[in-house]
C-alpha cells in the first residue's frame, strides 16, 4: 500500500539550503518544488498547488511576507516561515500575514520535518477524529492519503482527488461552492468547472457504493458540493 505523495513548495534563494531541504523532504516521501524568488514562489504555488509551503523571508526580489499574504488571498495551505530573522516583531508580522509556523535558521532538520508533518495532520484533519473519513465500506486516512475497503484492499486516489476530498472534509457537512472548491484545488486564476465535475464523478465511482445515487459526495444543485460521512447521513440531495 503506497501513500500519495504530498507536494512541498520551498521558496528559498540559498542553493545550499535548497539542497538540504530537497534531500530532507524527498527522503521522507515528499515531492519537492523549489522556487528561488518571491515571484517564482507565487507562480509555483498556483501551478503546483502544494500541500505545504516552506518560505524564507529574505528573498532577492521581495520580502517573503508578501508571498504569504498573496497565497492567503486564495488558499489555506499550511505555510512555515524558515528565516534567520529572530526579532519578535518580525515573527509576529509573519504570523499576522498568515503564516502557520516560524522556524529560525540555523534549524534542526528533524524538528522542521516534525513541524511540517504536524501542520499537515492539523490541516487535513479538521474536526475528524484521527483524520480518518469513513464513507460506507471505504475508509480514507487523510494524513497518510491512503484509502482502503473493509477487506484492506487499497482504493487508489490521485493527488488531485485527495485534494478535492480534503477541501470538502475541512468544511465538515457544510456546502462548498463550485467557485471555492475550484479556487482551493486549481488556484485563483483558472475556471475548471468541467474538470471538477469529472473528478467528482471519479471520486464517486471509487468511494460510493452506487455512484448514481451517492450518499457521501452530494451535489447541491447550482451551488456546489458537500461531504457527508457515516456519522451524519443526509439522503435526498441530487447525485449530479
pLDDT digits 0-9 by tens, 164-174: 998 888 877 77
Q: At 58, is the pLDDT very low, low, confident or very high (cuts 50, 70, 90)?
A: very high
Tell me how far apart the alpha carbons of residues 138 and 156 are, in angstroms, rounded to a whole number.
11
For domain 158-227, give the CATH number: 1.10.10.10
Cβ neighbours of 223 (radius 10 Å):
12
For domain 6-125, give the CATH number: 3.40.50.2300
Domain positions in the chain are 6-125, 158-227
Cβ neighbours of 87 (radius 10 Å):
8
Task: Give the global pTM.
Answer: 0.63
Mean pLDDT of 116-143: 74
Amino acid at each position: 500500500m503506497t501513500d500519495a505523495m504530498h507536494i512541498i513548495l520551498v521558496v528559498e534563494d540559498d542553493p545550499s539550503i535548497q539542497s538540504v531541504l530537497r534531500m530532507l523532504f524527498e527522503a521522507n516521501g515528499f515531492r519537492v518544488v523549489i522556487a528561488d524568488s518571491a515571484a517564482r514562489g507565487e507562480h509555483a504555488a498556483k501551478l503546483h498547488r502544494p500541500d505545504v509551503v516552506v518560505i524564507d523571508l529574505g528573498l532577492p526580489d521581495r520580502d517573503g511576507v508578501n508571498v504569504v499574504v498573496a497565497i492567503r488571498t486564495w488558499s489555506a495551505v499550511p505555510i512555515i516561515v524558515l528565516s534567520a530573522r529572530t526579532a519578535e516583531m518580525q515573527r509576529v508580522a509573519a504570523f499576522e500575514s498568515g503564516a502557520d509556523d516560524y522556524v529560525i535558521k540555523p534549524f534542526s532538520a528533524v524538528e522542521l520535518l516534525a513541524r511540517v508533518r504536524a501542520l499537515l495532520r492539523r490541516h487535513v484533519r479538521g474536526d475528524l477524529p484521527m483524520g480518518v473519513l469513513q464513507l460506507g465500506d471505504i475508509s480514507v486516512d487523510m494524513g497518510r492519503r491512503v484509502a482502503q475497503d473493509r477487506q484492506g484492499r487499497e482504493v487508489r486516489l490521485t493527488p488531485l482527488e485527495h485534494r478535492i476530498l480534503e477541501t470538502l472534509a475541512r468544511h465538515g457537512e457544510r456546502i462548498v461552492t463550485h467557485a471555492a472548491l475550484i479556487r482551493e484545488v486549481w488556484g485563483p486564476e483558472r475556471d475548471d468547472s468541467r474538470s471538477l465535475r469529472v473528478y467528482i464523478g471519479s471520486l464517486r465511482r471509487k468511494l460510493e457504493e452506487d455512484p448514481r445515487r451517492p450518499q457521501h459526495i452530494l451535489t447541491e444543485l447550482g451551488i456546489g458540493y458537500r461531504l457527508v460521512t457515516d456519522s451524519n447521513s443526509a439522503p435526498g440531495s441530487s447525485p449530479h
